Amino acid sequence: GENVEQHPSTLSVQEGDSAVIKCTYSDSASNYFPWYKQELGKGPQLIIDIRSNVGEKKDQRIAVTLNKTAKHFSLHITETQPEDSAVYFCAASIRGFQKLVFGTGTRLLVSP
Amino acid sequence: DTEVTQTPKHLVMGMTNKKSLKCEQHMGHRAMYWYKQKAKKPPELMFVYSYEKLSINESVPSRFSPECPNSSLLNLHLHALQPEDSALYLCASSQVPGNLNTEAFFGQGTRLTVV
C-alpha cells in the first residue's frame, strides 16, 4: 500500500535559520501533497499544499517543492521563529483525495 | 466559518461503557473523516463518509461504529473498547470528494482514555 517516509524526525534550529523537511512517497498515482502543522493539544492545521502538476509553491516564509520523478517533496521554512515550533506532517493522497497517508512527523524546535 | 468542532474534548470511559464522539462542520463539506492518532505518531485513517455514505472503512474493529446523520454531523459510537484504544480521535472534513481543490480541515480532537 501507500507509504510516506519523512525525515528528519527531529530538527533543532536557531531563530532566523532555515528548516527543511523531506518526504518520499511510494505510490506513483499520488497527486496531492499537503503539509500539516500540529501544535500540542491541537488538531493538524494545513499550512501549504502542492499538486502533481506543479513543481514548486511558495507562501511567504513557507515553500514546498515536488519532484515527481524521484517521488520526493520537501517543506522549506525560512527565517524561522519560535512560534514555528511544532510537529510537521507531510501527507500524500490516493483514491481521488479521499485518503490521506501521513508521514511519520518532524518535531521542529526553534530556539530564540 | 472554517471550523470543525469536536465534542467532548476529553473522555474517560471504562471497558464496558458505551459512549459517542461528535463532530460538526458548517462549511458545506460533503466528505467527513475519522482519524486515530496515538502519541508521537501520525494520524491514521479509520473511516471516510462521502455524501453521508460510508465509502472507506480501514478494517476498523466493530467496537467502533461510525454514523453520519446528515451532511454536517459525524458521530463515532464506542462500545467495549480496550485500553489500547486510548488515543486522540480526530475528525476532518473536505469539499466534494475527488475535487482537485479539496483541503481537509481537522478538528481539535477528542482525547480518549479507556480504563
pLDDT tens by residue, A55-75:
999 999 999 999 999 999 999
A99 touches chain B (CB under 8 A): yes
In chain B, % of residues over pLDDT 90? 84
- A99-112: pLDDT as tens digits: 889 999 999 999 99
CB contact under 8 A, A100 and B56: no
Q: Which residues of B touch A41 (CB under 8 A)?
A: 108
B101: number of Cβ within 10 Å: 9
Residue B94 CA to chain centroid, in angstroms?
13
**Cα separation of A109 and A92, whole Å?**
24
Cα–Cα dist A36/A105, whole Å: 9
pLDDT-derived band at A96 (thresholds 50, 70, 90) equals low
Instruction: Report chain A's terminal Cα–Cα distance, integer Å.
Output: 41
Confidence band (pLDDT; 50, 70, 90) for B1?
A: low
Give the one of B42, B100, B107 whose C-beta lies nearest to A89's C-beta: B42
A34 and B104 within 8 Å at the Cβ level: the answer is: yes
What's the CA gap between B86 and B88, in Å, rounded? 7
Q: What is the pLDDT of residues B49-100, one digit of tens each?
A: 999 999 989 999 999 999 999 999 999 999 999 999 999 999 999 887 665 5
Q: Beta strand A10-14 with B110-114: parallel, antiparallel or unpaired?
A: unpaired
Report the pLDDT value the prediction gives residue B101, as an integer from 0 to 100: 52
Q: Return the half-sphere exposure (C-beta side, CA atoms, 13 A cut-off) of residue B6.
A: 27
Residue of A100, A101, A106 to mutate for B, most B C-beta atoms under 10 A: A100
A43 to chain B: which residues are within 8 Å by CB? 4, 90, 92, 106-109
Interchain CB distance below 8 Å, B107 and A100: no
